[in-house]
Amino acid sequence: MITRVLIDTDPGIDDAVALLYALATPRIEVLGITTVAGNIGLDRTTSNARRILALMGREDIPVHAGAAGPLSRSGIEVADIHGMDGLGGVEFPAPGAKAGDDAVAFLVETLMREPASDIVLMVLGPMTNIARLFRENPLAARRVGRIIAMGGAIRDAGNMGPRSEFNMAADPEAADIVLGSGLPIVLIPLDVTRQVRATLDDCARLSAAGTPQAVYSARLIEAYFRSTSASDASSRPLHDPCVMLMATHRELFRLEAMGLSVDLGTSPDAGALSPESSRMLVLTATEVEGRAAVEHLIAGLS
């Protein structure tokens, strides 16, 4: 079965690997990409998305720039992880096709044109564009079949504050709108994504595979190892590819329905998630077959 998707992203090293996998696998049809400021500024995330499409010969897929910052806060940058270009210094081909400049309008147009509930919205970065979609055109938003998003931490420690994860911390108000929307949502938190880890041996296997998507994924993951935040010398977590793997290999994950509230304060834990029974239920990944996930990712990229 082919999953038809719109991808909202802030590439980003792991975003780039996720995009390469989505473009390579026959199990996913990418209808369009919208970009958001997150891992790096909007101009760069948009350029990175276009460069990835150029590498894959898929510049027929539209790219539309979205929010340059959160709904109501100052933005966060993490160049120490992803590098000043967002891709760890890995050089991609220059893009030819231009990007549009209104992500929400593109989402509305696509959702209203396609059959209701047919499209899966894959969210790899801060949820700002998706929250704006709900605010500006709730009718179109209700036509989304399902949202699969990477974000949050449930029992694990955060990677921004003690309990807050980057995508949620970058725009807590947006996360609150989306998680409270009542749409079918699958959330993949750090608790699970940290179990999907690539080694340098995995990079060697990808390089040897020889396909553009495999070779560039190897370079990106190798750059991840060089980042100043690399605390584990033996492996690196592949957060955003888990969103794609949820669509193509659902059997790898265990899900639990949870009501989740979002910390909207101003402490270092802004964006932290807490179980709350009165909230809309969100299917939350709690376990994953980590090594099997990496093997499926390598196979899909090779």
Percent of the chain whose predicted confidence (pLDDT) is above 70: 96
Higher pLDDT, residue 39 or 221? 221
Lowest mean pLDDT among 124-133, 202-211, 219-228: 219-228
Span 41-48, average pLDDT: 95
Cα 178 from Cα 169, distance rounded (Å): 14
Assign 39 a pLDDT band (cuts: 50, 70, 90): confident
In this prediction, residue 37 carries a pLDDT of 93
**Residue 239 annotated among the catalytic residues of the structure:** yes
CA atoms within 13 A on the CB side of 267: 9
List the domains of the chain with CATH numbers: 3-301 (3.90.245.10)
Contact 24, 56 (CB under 8 A): yes
Q: Are strands 185-188 and 197-198 parallel, antiparallel or unpaired?
A: unpaired
Span 252-276, average pLDDT: 95
pLDDT for 118-143, tens place per residue?
A: 999 999 999 999 999 999 999 999 99
Contact 196, 159 (CB under 8 A): no
Lowest mean pLDDT among 50-59, 79-88, 237-246, 272-281: 79-88
Question: Is the confidence at residue 281, as pLDDT, over 70?
Answer: yes
Lowest mean pLDDT among 84-88, 213-217, 254-258, 293-297: 84-88
Span 76-101, average pLDDT: 81
Q: Residues 82, 239, 249, 296: which is the catalytic one?
A: 239
Assign 236 a pLDDT band (cuts: 50, 70, 90): very high
Assign 284 a pLDDT band (cuts: 50, 70, 90): very high
In this prediction, residue 74 carries a pLDDT of 80
Distances (CA, A) of 283 to 182, 187, 189, 240, 260: 11, 6, 11, 17, 10
What predicted TM-score, i.e. pTM, was given to this entire model? 0.96
Which residues contact residue 213 at a Cβ distance below 8 angstroms, ignoring those fewer than 6 apart? 20, 21, 23, 24, 55, 56, 301
pLDDT for 101-113, tens place per residue?
A: 999 999 999 999 9
Span 176-186, average pLDDT: 97
Contact 95, 125 (CB under 8 A): no
Question: Is the confidence at residue 80, as pLDDT, over 80?
Answer: no
Question: Is the confidence at residue 230, as pLDDT, over 80?
Answer: no
